[in-house]
Amino acid sequence: MSADNLQVGIIGTGAIGGLHAHNLALRTNGANVAAVMDIDRERANAVAQACGARAVQDAAGLIADPEIDAILIASPDASHAELSLAAIAAGKPVLCEKPLATSLADAEHIVNAELAAGQCLVQVGFMRQVDPAHCDLQALLLSGQLGAPLRFRGTHFNPRRGDTIISIKDAIVNSLIHDMHSLRWLMGSEVQSAFVQWLPDRADMPHSARFALAHLTLDNGGLATLEWSGDSGYGYEVGVEIVGELGTAQTHSHSSPAIRRAGRLSQAVTPDWQDRFAEAYQIEVQDWVDSLRQGAPTGPSAWDGYMSLVIADACLRSVDSGLPEPTRAMDHPAFYA
Ligand code: NAD
């Protein structure tokens, strides 16, 4: 381990925090996990031991610790804004898991704090931006072979998680937020309006969600639909299809072989997000470490986190009104050019 290694402190050592800790400690050059914190002390201790890190009990102390260079936030959604603001106040770079915040107002505070600090410190965990299947589609779009993109179709199908009932609000702010970022990134356009329809997971809980569909209009005249399922019945699948002026293309979402056997054509579907995006999570933290060692983060910014919540906010208003709702965003600061 070199003295120049980035010393990372991780807050939240559950499913994704544990995965990031493992990737940073064992599969990333130029960094090590110096300290971890989780309100579940046993979990923090186990991850600390596996990574050769210290387990600490206080998030504010970890952020302030002069031996920690950078913070990774992987605690629940509701804690992201406060912890990101604390990292900005300490002048430390932070990789914050999505969503950047659970409200548009909190995301705006983070953007304003970064503007006041005059430094890009925040990166948001929209790791699809480094997923090879999504990158191949982006390269095709940038090559011009599809012509101008006209329509984005995102599919985000999850396996059911035990007895968990997901609300339409959580489906939008916690899950569809990924697809909202993907569409801005791949279509190169902001969203003008959003209209949401959904099927409840339970008839007696009208704001529970089994399946949701968001129809979006874009500033560049394009259209988008985002389809989400909380119970695909078959596994985990994320895909994008883009219709362009000259052609149509889809992400290749499966890396397993297509098998023709005994009169059937079959292909395995990944069971969960950990399998589907395993490579992207590794690339994400390596790129983050490399960019910080060279000066500043280059991945999805606080502005990207904010603009994804602008779309989510219009979707939430559409849930309440039953109508298409316009997006409402602050002016784009030149700082985030
Ligand atoms: P999880 O429940 O498995 O883990 C969360 C951990 O945070 C738990 O260990 C819990 O004890 C701990 N915790 C709770 N409150 C805390 C606090 N105030 N301070 C410190 N630790 C606290 O959840 P998860 O699936 O790992 O999700 C964590 C975050 O990562 C969520 O915001 C989620 O949206 C995001 N996430 C992103 C992706 C992605 O694809 N980028 C995938 C999964 C989860």
* pLDDT tens, position by position, 134-147: 999 999 999 999 99
pLDDT over 70 (residue 12): yes
Please answer whether residues 128 and 178 qualify as being in contact, where contact means their C-beta atoms are separated by less than 8 angstroms: yes
Q: Which position has the token pair 């994320």?
A: 238
Going by CA atoms, what residue is nearest to atom 25 of ligand 1? Answer: 15
Residue 256 has a pLDDT of 84
Query: What class is the 6-127+279-301 domain?
Result: alpha beta
Please answer whether residues 92 and 73 qualify as being in contact, where contact means their C-beta atoms are separated by less than 8 angstroms: no
Q: Say if 6-127+279-301 and 129-277+309-326 have the same CATH topology.
A: no
pLDDT band, very low/low/confident/very high, at 254 (cuts 50, 70, 90):
low
Answer positive or negative: Cα dihedral of 198, 133, 308, 245.
negative
Going by CA atoms, what residue is nearest to atom 11 of ligand 1? Answer: 40
| CB-defined site of ligand 1, < 6 Å | 11-17, 37-40, 43, 59, 74-77, 79, 97-98, 125, 127, 174, 273
- Does residue 300 have a cis bond before it (omega within 30 degrees)? no
For the chain, the first-to-last Cα distance in angstroms comes to: 36
Q: Average the pLDDT over 267-294 and give the result.
A: 96
pLDDT band, very low/low/confident/very high, at 252 (cuts 50, 70, 90):
confident
Residue 43 has a pLDDT of 98
Going by CA atoms, what residue is nearest to atom 8 of ligand 1? Answer: 14
User: C-alpha angle with apex 295: 113 to 291, nearest 5 degrees?
Assistant: 100
CATH of domain 129-277+309-326: 3.30.360.10
- Going from the Cα of 10 to the center of ligand 1, the distance in angstroms, rounded, reads 11
* Domain boundary assignment for the chain: 6-127+279-301, 129-277+309-326
Q: Tell which atom from ligand 1 comes closest to the C-alpha of 127.
A: 41
Residue 181 has a pLDDT of 98
Please answer whether residues 159 and 276 qualify as being in contact, where contact means their C-beta atoms are separated by less than 8 angstroms: no
* pLDDT, mean over the chain: 96
Q: Average the pLDDT over 280-291 and give the result.
A: 98
Eight-class DSSP state of 99: P
Q: How many residues does the chain have?
A: 337
Q: Report if pTM > 0.75.
A: yes
pLDDT band, very low/low/confident/very high, at 1 (cuts 50, 70, 90):
very low
Going by CA atoms, what residue is nearest to atom 9 of ligand 1? Answer: 14
Please answer whether residues 214 and 134 qualify as being in contact, where contact means their C-beta atoms are separated by less than 8 angstroms: no
